Structure 1
Amino acid sequence: MTSPSPLPLGADWDPLAALRAGDDPPLDVLLSGTVFFDIVFTGLERLPRPGEELWSRGMGSSPGGIANLAVAAARLGLRTGLVAGFGDDAYADWMWDTLGREEGIDLSASRRFPGFHSPLTASVATEGDRAMVTHGHELPEPLTSLVISAPAARAAVVDLAGETTWWADLARRGSRIFADIGFDESGRWDPADLAPLSHCHAFTPNALEAMSYTRTDSPDRAVRALAELVPLAVVTDGASGSYAIDGSTGEEAFCPAVPVNATDTTGAGDVFAAAMVLGTLAAWPLAERLKFAALCSALAVQQFGGSLAAPGWGDIADWWRHLSDASTEGDLRAAYTREPYRFLEGIVPDHPVQGRRRAQGTFALRSDAGEH
Structure 2
Amino acid sequence: MAAPMLEFRTPGFNPYAVQYSPYYDSRIAVASSANFGIIGNGKLFVLELTPEGVVQPGKVWDTNDSQYDVAWSEINENQLLVACGDGSLKLFDLSVDNFPVMNFHEHKREALSVSWSPVTKDSFLTSSWDGTVKLWSPTRNQALRTLPVGACTYSAAYCPMNPAIISAASSDSHLRIFDLRTPVSAKYHLVATIAVHAPAMGNSLPHLAGGGVPPPGAMGGGPSEILTHDWNKYNDTIVATGGVDKVIRTFDIRNPSGGALSYMMGHEFAVRRLAWSPHAHDTLISASYDMTVRLWNDGSPPPPTPPPQPNAPVRMGNMVGMMNRHTEFTTGVDWCLFGEGGWVASTGWDERVLLWDANALVGMRR
Q: Which has the higher contact order (CA 8 A, sep 6+)?
A: 1
TM-score (norm. length: structure 1): 0.34
Higher-helix-fraction structure: 1
TM-score (norm. length: structure 2): 0.35
Higher-strand-fraction structure: 2
